[in-house]
A = this chain, B = another copy of it.
Amino acid sequence: MHKEHTLTKNQQIIFDLIDKSTEPLKAYSILFNVQKKGIKAPLQVYRALDKLVEIGKIHKIESRNAFIACHNSSCQVAKATAFSICEICEKVTEISSAGLSKYLANFKDKDGMKYSKYNLEFFGLCKKCR
């Protein structure tokens, strides 16, 4: 399918933290949590985050400036992402809907412009908060 990337030390530490988290993590919260592992500076975190986003292992939730691990095999390397966000408890879930991704991947605007990437964020109330 897609090339396996071997993560470097810093990338692996940061990915593991995000991957086992039940909520999106912010960069400085990540920094705080990995300081005991020797990652001391913001830039070390941001560099790992950039790379992890680039290779599709994590996604950035733009409206929250936070990061979650990708659990959606159908999202091609960060090119097509959709999330649902609860406005009360801030729970974020990656949406994997074949219909949705097909619709958006084929969407063309009036100019016939074809897009190479999209990010969609839905907001509402989750089951618990309703």
* Contact of A119 with B84 in the complex, beta carbons under 8 Å: no
Assign chain A's interface to a size class: 20 to 34
Q: Give CA–CA (A87, B116) in the complex, Å.
A: 10
Chain B residue nearest in CB terms to A123: B117
* Contact of A118 with B111 in the complex, beta carbons under 8 Å: no
- Name which of A2-10, A14-22, A25-33, A95-103 contacts chain B: A95-103
* Contact of A114 with B109 in the complex, beta carbons under 8 Å: no
* Contact of B120 with A118 in the complex, beta carbons under 8 Å: yes
Residues of B within 8 A of A104 (CB): 120
Chain B nearest CB from A28 CB (Å) reads: 17
A121 contacts partner chain B, Cβ-Cβ < 8 Å: yes
Encode A73-107 as 1/0 by CB contact (under 8 A) with B: 00000000000100100000101010010011001
Q: A116-B123, A122-B115, A124-B116 are in contact. Are A84 and B109 (CB under 8 A)?
A: yes
Contacts from A to B (Cβ < 8 Å): 62-63, 84, 87, 93, 95, 97, 100, 103-104, 107, 109-111, 113-127
Q: A97-B107, A118-B121, A120-B120 are in contact. List 8 more A-B contacts (CB 8 A).
A: A62-B63, A62-B121, A97-B109, A113-B126, A115-B124, A117-B124, A119-B121, A120-B121
